[in-house]
Amino acid sequence: MQDTARISVSSLQNTLLETWQNYYQLTKPRIIPLLLITTAASMWIASEGKIDPILLLVTLTGGTLAAASAQTLNCIYDLDIDYAMVRTRKRPLPSGKVQPRHALIFALTLAGLSFGLLARFANLQAALLAMMGIIFYMVVYTHMLKRNTPQNIVIGGAAGSIPPLVGWAAVTGELSWAAWLLFGLIFLWTPPHFWALALMIREDYASVNVPMLPVVEGEEATTEQIWIYSLLVVPVSLMLIYPLGVCGVVYGAFAVVLGAIFLQKAWVLLKNPEDLPLAKSMFKYSILYMMVLCTGMVIDSLPITHHMVQACTGHLEALMGMVLSMS
Distance between alpha carbon 274 and the CA centroid of its chain, in Å?
26
Contact indicator for 282, 269 with CB cutoff of 8 Å: yes
Contact indicator for 218, 256 with CB cutoff of 8 Å: no
Residue 193 interaction partner, one of ligand HEM, ligand FPP, none, beta carbon < 5-8 Å per kind = ligand HEM
Residue 50 interaction partner, one of ligand HEM, ligand FPP, none, beta carbon < 5-8 Å per kind = none
- CA torsion sign for 265, 261, 38, 165 is negative
CB of 235 to ligand FPP, least distance (A): 24
Which of 31, 86, 288, 318: binder of ligand HEM (CB under 6 A)?
31
Q: How many residues does the chain have?
A: 327
Residue 34 interaction partner, one of ligand HEM, ligand FPP, none, beta carbon < 5-8 Å per kind = ligand HEM
Map residue 242 onto helix, strand or coil.
Answer: coil
CB of 30 to ligand FPP, least distance (A): 10
Q: What x/- string results for residues 158 through 197 when contact with ligand HEM is judged by CB under 6 A?
A: --x-------------------------x---x--xx--x
Indicate the residue among 203 and 317 with the shorter CB distance to ligand HEM: 203
Residue nearest ligand FPP, Cβ-based: 133
Label residue 245 left, alpha or beta by phi (over 0 means left) and psi (-120 to 50 means alpha). Answer: left
Amino acid at 215: V
Start-to-end Cα distance in the chain: 95
**Residues within the interface to ligand HEM (CB under 6 A):** 28, 30-31, 34-35, 38, 87, 141, 153, 156-157, 160, 186, 190, 193-194, 197, 287, 290
